[in-house]
């Protein structure tokens, strides 16, 4: 399927995962496809979540160097259909707190899932895990923080406006998670099974450690800070960078520039776990983005001059927006007004 010849504004999950151009984009194979789809997703926000879920599934099954023939697909699909009870698969899945089992819109997508499972079995001979791949998704809305324990005992704190996805094979034959947002990890060591965090364009590999990751897909900055142990970071499949304790890895996505630097107080990057909201020499426009997540408010920055002013300070989630803006106003001349659910900065 070719995206150029498709009405892809109406794409659903199964359309994305069989589109050659989208698969190339998901696997970072072709810069033209990457630019095309990034632009399209920015202009079609209603499709973005579905597209990112499809992208994660494509990356999970790692089709980067594997070609499937039409005959193989048909044969494997027939064999797997005879072994799986589709009626049972389509039965309602229990919704449990925090973890949400995704049915991937079974009515139209179950055949596609069967196809992916068949391909997975083909390339892995004798899988140790269940044949049907089920996903657990943790979504944290703005204004909240969630702590969760993964099946291997690793602890994850998810900051506001963040999402973490992993499948039911986690802890059995792999420990891979997919992150959009900010998370602090305390990883339990498991001999022979590294812990892997996938973000938009970076892969973080660890054995047992504590670190913080800031990886909102919609923002220019990717940041990882190491508190304990060691981690390796690979950017777009390039050579891995080994991070040491008290070091921070910073990627500026718009320039593709990577910097590794020593961090005097590396714990400050994960202090949000305790309810702190920390600004360190941060531009006011970026402070507003942070407050939008931590306090679940919306800002309209009309005063662009104050937007580039920098501030340092520490607040808590219990401090209301009026208190925070009032303190910042002590050193900077700006006004604000609250109109319904919007805070307008003049």
Distance, CA of 162 to chain centre: 7
- In this structure, the strands spanning 202-206 and 241-243 are unpaired
Helix residue spans in the chain (DSSP H):
13-17, 20-26, 31-43, 45-61, 70-83, 86-89, 106-124, 284-295, 304-307, 321-329
Specify the pTM.
0.63
How far is residue 323 from each of residues 158, 283, 319, measured CA to CA in Å? 25, 18, 6
168-180 pLDDT per residue, tens:
889 888 899 999 9
Give the confidence band of 2 by pLDDT, cuts at 50, 70, 90.
very low
Nearest alpha carbon to residue 228 among 241, 245, 206, 240: 245
Nearest alpha carbon to residue 147 among 277, 262, 275, 40: 275
Between 340 and 85, the more confident residue is 340
What is the DSSP track for 7-54?
-GGG--HHHHHT-HHHHHHHTT--HHHHHHHHHHHHH-HHHHHHHHHH
Highest mean pLDDT: which range of 6-20, 52-66, 126-140, 329-343: 329-343
Residue 129 has pLDDT above 90, yes or no: no
- Across residues 292-301, what is the average pLDDT? 94
Give the confidence band of 71 by pLDDT, cuts at 50, 70, 90.
low
Residue 110 has pLDDT above 60, yes or no: no
- Domains of the chain (ranges, CATH numbers): 139-270 (2.60.120.1440), 275-345 (3.55.50.30)
Question: 73-79, long-range: CB within 8 Å, 24+ apart, which pairs?
Answer: 73/115, 73/118, 73/119, 76/115, 76/118, 76/119, 76/121, 76/122, 77/111, 77/114, 77/115, 77/118, 79/118
Residue 268 has pLDDT above 80, yes or no: yes
Which contiguous run of DSSP H or E holds residue 157? strand 155-158
Residue 116 has pLDDT above 90, yes or no: no
Pair 284, 332: CB distance under 8 Å: yes
So what's the pLDDT on residue 272? 94
Count other Cβ atoms within 10 Å, centred on residue 243. 22
Torsion of Cα atoms, 212 then 136 then 127 then 209, to 10°: 20
Residue 96 has pLDDT above 90, yes or no: no
Structure tokens, 162? 């963040």
Bridge partners of 197, per DSSP, are 177, 204
So what's the pLDDT on residue 90? 35
Nearest alpha carbon to residue 267 among 254, 257, 276, 258: 276
Share of the chain above pLDDT 90, in %: 44
Residue 21 has pLDDT above 70, yes or no: yes
Question: 261-267, long-range: CB within 8 Å, 24+ apart, which pairs?
Answer: 263/225, 266/225, 266/226, 266/227, 267/227
181-191 pLDDT per residue, tens:
999 999 999 88
- In this structure, the strands spanning 210-215 and 247-252 are unpaired
Bridge partners of 228, per DSSP, are 210
So what's the pLDDT on residue 331? 86
Bridge partners of 210, per DSSP, are 186, 228
Task: Scan for tokens 């193989």, then name that residue.
Answer: 72
So what's the pLDDT on residue 7? 60
Task: Scan for tokens 């900077």, then name that residue.
Answer: 332
Residue 336 has pLDDT above 70, yes or no: yes
């Amino acid at each position: 399927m070719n995206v150029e010849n498709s009405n892809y504004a109406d794409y659903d999950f199964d359309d994305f995962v069989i589109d050659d151009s989208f698969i190339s984009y998901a696997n970072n194979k072709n810069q033209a496809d990457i630019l095309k789809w990034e632009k399209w997703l920015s202009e079609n926000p209603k499709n973005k979540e579905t597209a990112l879920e499809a992208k994660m599934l494509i990356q999970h099954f790692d089709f980067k160097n594997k070609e499937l023939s039409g005959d193989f697909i048909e044969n494997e699909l027939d064999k797997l259909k005879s072994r799986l009870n589709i009626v049972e698969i389509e039965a309602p899945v229990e919704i449990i707190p925090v973890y949400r089992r995704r049915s991937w819109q079974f009515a139209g997508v179950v055949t596609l899932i069967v196809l992916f499972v068949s391909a997975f079995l083909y390339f892995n001979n004798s899988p140790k895990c269940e044949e049907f791949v089920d996903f657990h998704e943790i979504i944290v809305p703005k204004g909240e923080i969630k702590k969760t324990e993964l099946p291997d005992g690793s602890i994850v704190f998810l900051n506001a406006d963040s999402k973490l996805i992993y499948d039911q094979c986690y802890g059995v034959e792999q420990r891979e998670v997919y992150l959009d947002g900010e998370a602090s990890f305390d990883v339990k060591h498991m001999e022979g099974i590294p812990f892997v965090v996938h973000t938009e364009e970076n892969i973080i590999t660890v054995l047992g450690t504590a670190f913080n990751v800031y990886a909102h897909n919609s923002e220019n900055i990717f940041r990882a800070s190491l508190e304990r142990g060691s981690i390796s970071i690979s950017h777009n499949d390039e050579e891995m960078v080994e991070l040491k304790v008290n070091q921070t890895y910073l990627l500026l996505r718009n320039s593709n520039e990577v910097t590794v630097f020593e961090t005097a107080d590396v714990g400050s990057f994960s202090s949000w776990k305790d309810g702190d909201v920390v600004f360190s020499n941060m531009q006011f426009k970026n402070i507003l983005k942070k407050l939008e997540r931590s306090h679940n408010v919306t800002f309209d920055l009309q005063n662009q001059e104050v937007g580039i002013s920098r501030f340092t300070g520490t607040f808590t989630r219990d401090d209301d927006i009026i208190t925070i803006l009032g303190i910042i106003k002590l050193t900077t001349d700006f006004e604000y007004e609250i109109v319904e659910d919007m805070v307008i900065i003049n």
